Structure 1
Amino acid sequence: MSYTQKKVDVLVLGGGAAGVCAAISAARAGKKVLLVESQGCLGGSRTATGVDTFYGFYTPKGQQRIVGGIPWEIAQLLTEANAAFERKNTYGAGTGITYDVEILKVIYEQSVLDSGAELLYHTYASRVHVSDGYITGVVLANKQGLTEVSANIYIDTTGDGDIAARSGAPFEKSDAAELQSLSTIFFMANVDISAAKSVSHDELAARMRKANQSGHYSLPREEGSWHITPHAGVIQANMVRVSGVDATDPYALTLAEVEGRRQTRQYVRFLKEYVAGFEDAFLVGTSHHIGIRETRRIQGEYMLTEEDVVIGRKFEDGIACCGAPVEDHGAGKDTRWVYVKDDGYYHIPYRCLVPKEIQNLLVAGRCLSATHSAQASARNSAQCMAMGQAAGTAAVISLEQHVPVSSIPIPLLLERLRSQDVVI
């Protein structure tokens, strides 16, 4: 097996929403950046998992846009391509931007490549080397063999905090029974949209309960939803609930994939039998892999709490705004919603991106330093992208100042972010 070496300024591991923006922001500043992704496309849950809507750009009721910068650039590119539209969330969580998943894949790729970053697909980080609190290299594995990449700064945007965990950075992870559930997204075509819209969300939930009571169904979630897409007669459904799974366990995750597809068949049958407009509809696809809401949460210089979220707390090192409610998909048939007071927003502090004990590592995305319930708010897509942009910008400053990521000047970080049209 071949073993090669490579050197870059910034190594970004994970090409989801956070990783894309981290790579773009660092590369635009002239740094040599490598973005590594295990799948064959960028976007993670925004594409491969089939979540076709960005949430978090707006506050729920005031409709104040609180995210700008690279995330908003991406949203605008989708709109210009006639591949996106805005719509209200079923549960009052604010206006979302629903888009064509296939177009987003291309826009993400082109934006990364245009920034000057290098992109590598179908590759996993298999080993992390650490010395005296600094990561000295990450061993990548793919069909070509093993490559050890050394960088000055590493950014973990894997979602699961894989790099942080393997480097020895402390993290928290709830018991499997307490972790948020997993969901297999599915798409159906040939739906009579006008007829389907005649069934309210409350009535849909009532019919799910009736189906369960009939004994002919076993629907774990009785309040899921569907929505229109940019394509006529095609809908996306988020109804599947696979609970009690630690998605860092590959054996458990494998069984979850199987269970997600099994549940999908039940929900498709339910929609066709119980909901007007779906009589002649058919399943056109499921997500490439099951959607994961929560696994590891790093222990950073600060841990975001539910109190911070609900009261709309602001921080001097706030690098992103979030107005999204706590959206906790537990093991039961319902979802717990807790909204930010006064329809406001809170700050995600930079310290939530800085793991303890490792001096040249940043994280961004759903593995940020937050409690279980606070993470259930901060994990929204617009915020993950905003965290990624902040992490990429912070990496550049760390390199320029020759200081650990925990010691960069916060006023300079905020100044740089504002100059990139970030809303703080």
Structure 2
Amino acid sequence: MSHLNRKVSNVDVLVLGGGAAGFAAALAARRNGCSVTLIESQNCIGGSRTATGVDTFYGFYTPGDSPRRIVGGIPWEVANRLVEVNGCFERPNTYGAGTGITYDVEKLKVIYESMLIEAGVTLLYHTYASVVEMEDGTIKGVAIANKGGLTTIYAKYYIDATGDGDIAARAGAPFELGSPEELQSLTTIFFMANVDVDKAKMTSHKALAKLMKEANQSGQYNLPREDGSWHATPNPGVIQTNMVRVTGVDATDPFALTMAEIEGRKQTQEYVRFLNNCVPGYENAFLVSTSQHIGVRETRRIRGAYTLTEEDVVQGAKFDDAIACCGAPVEDHYAGSGTRWAYVQGDGVYHIPFRSLVPQKVSNLLVAGRCLSATHGAQASARNSAQCMAMGQAVGTASALACKTNSNISELDIFQLKNLLLEQGVIL
């Protein structure tokens, strides 16, 4: 029997993209009674949290001297599972963005998979969505491509958790995409081992930036970003480093993305050479690995029923259709050598509204993650991992509610959805 064009028609919810948002979306939809298939282009669940090497969850806590946990539900369940396997620890952010939960990437991969498999979610790795079949503003099916060839999956509801809004764009939903010069920069995360961590900590963040500037001025190094950070991991002598900066890239352009991957690895070698030669504690350190794929902070932002703005973020806006809380500051990695920060005022918390996850012009599609309906500045806050998982839980639960009531997304009772989320431990 040929596997080409094989049709699967008995899926309630199809989740496209298995990053932090897609994971939570698939799990929530399944736990609420739907049959769910989750497809992912990489070989693991977690996206930027695993394959990209970003080994810290941010967004669980508000910044400042009196941090408050503002995210619960599935995201907090993940954090607790990491604690159970001695796979994480809490630490302050280098720039004052609040407490982060740094974890062992390999342990998180297994936890994500275990939770999905325990719930009965069908997983497909090494799989891309290629064509979206539309009819009168409704997605009828999505053709996927993998080692089995081309397969069309038919579902009642679809969740775009691709990060880039690929499915929403192919379905005809309107979106915003800035010029390459306007988009946030890309970063190749890298890990080093045999670092004398205690000795390395003696060089402050300010002193490290000064050393970078001096290295560039000497003419012996080419460090595009005279900033960046590193931190210890749960593994002795191993550190994670966020210094690489690749700018002017539209990561929805496969040719530009390919060149960005090449440039990111090239920069990594230069930063490793700098650390080895110029920073105490790195004298005998060596590069262990670079991220499975380059980290992308921003591409398409869909136009939803509501667009979250930077003013909403900074002013701590509250909404009746809130599905998640966020206290993370705007963290805009613009094309220059620095990063722009803007903090939430008032009580330090704003709401992410459900309407920002509902694309225009497509009746059975929801989005979750960094492609939400938000301005450039607002997205630079809402894209944190705890919020992406919270968005995923919200849209997964919403899809299940729509399945039970056989209704369009726009017809959902938002208060019924919020009550369901509260019952599942979500903090609103």
Shared fold (TM-score, shorter chain, > 0.5): yes
**Partner of 1:322 in structure 2?**
326
Residue of structure 2 equivalent to 1:283:
287
What is the rounded CA distance, in whole Å, between the counterparts of 1:56 and 1:246 in structure 2?
Answer: 26
Asked if 1:52 corresponds to 2:34, the answer is no
Pick one of 233, 236, 239 that aligns with 1:235. Answer: 239
Please tell me whether the aligned partners of residues 60 and 343 of structure 1 are also in contact (alpha carbons under 8 angstroms).
no
CA separation of 1:329/1:343 partners in 2, compared to 1, >3 Å: closer, same or farther? farther
Report the CA distance between 1:54 and its aligned residue: 0.2
CA contact (8 A) 1:351 1:406 kept: no
- Cα RMSD (Å) of the superposition? 0.7
Distance 1:287 1:394 in 2: 33
Hey, what does 1:3 align to over in structure 2?
5
The sequence identity of aligned pairs, in percent, is 67
Deviations 1:362-389 (A, max 9, x none): 0000000000010000000000000000
Task: Please state whether the residue corresponding to 1:75 is helix, strand or coil.
Answer: helix
Mapped to 2, the partners of 1:151 and 1:390 lie a distance apart of 19
Alignment deviations for residues 326-385 of structure 1 (CA, whole Å, 9 cap, x no partner): 000011110001011146110000000000000000000000000001000000000000
Q: Is 1:245 aligned with 2:249?
A: yes
Matched, 1:175 2:179: yes
Shift, 1:403, TM fit:
1.6
* Aligned residues of 2:13 and 2:37 also touching (Cα < 8 A): yes
Looking at structure 1, the residues matched to 281 and 310 of structure 2 have their Cα atoms a distance apart, in angstroms, of: 40
Q: Which residue of 2 aligns with 1:161?
A: 165
Matches within 5 A, 1:9-408: 9-61=12-64, 62-342=66-346, 344-408=348-412
Unaligned runs of 5+ in 1: none
* Structure 1 residue 115: Cα displacement: 1.2
Paired residues of 2:34 and 2:403 also in contact (CA < 8 A): no
Deviation string for 1:246-283 (max 9, x for gaps)?
00000000000000000001100111111100000000
1:348 alignment partner, SS class: strand
Deviates more, 1:402-411 or 1:71-80: 402-411
**Secondary structure of 2:83's partner?**
helix
**CA displacement at 1:151 relative to structure 2:** 0.5
For 1:289, the aligned partner's letter is H
Query: Which structure 2 residue ranges, 5 or more long, are not aligned?
Result: none
Aligned twin of 1:416: 420
Give the Å deviation of 1:143.
1.2
Distance 1:50 1:383 in 2: 18
User: Following superposition, which runs of at least 4 residues in structure 1 exceed 3 angstroms of deviation?
Assistant: none
Q: Aligned partners of 1:247 and 1:406: how far apart in 2?
A: 31
Query: Take 2:242 and 2:80, find their aligned partners in 1: how far apart are those partners?
Result: 25
Deviation track 1:170-229 (CA, whole Å, cap 9, x = no partner) reads: 000000001000000000000001110000000000111101111111111111000000
SS in 2 for 1:152: strand
Equivalent residue pairs, number: 424
Aligned partners of 1:169 and 1:298 also within 8 Å: yes
Contact 1:9 1:32 in 2 (8 A): yes
- Tell me the distance in 1 between the aligned counterparts of 2:111 and 2:292: 19
> Which 10-residue stretch deviates more, 401-410 or 9-18?
401-410
The answer to whether the 8 Å contact 1:179/1:244 transfers is: yes
The CA distance in 2 between the partners of 1:231 and 1:122, in whole Å, is 29
Q: SS at the partner of 1:422? A: coil
State how far apart, in whole Å, the 1-side matches of 2:14 and 2:348 are: 35
1:111 Cα deviation (Å)?
0.4
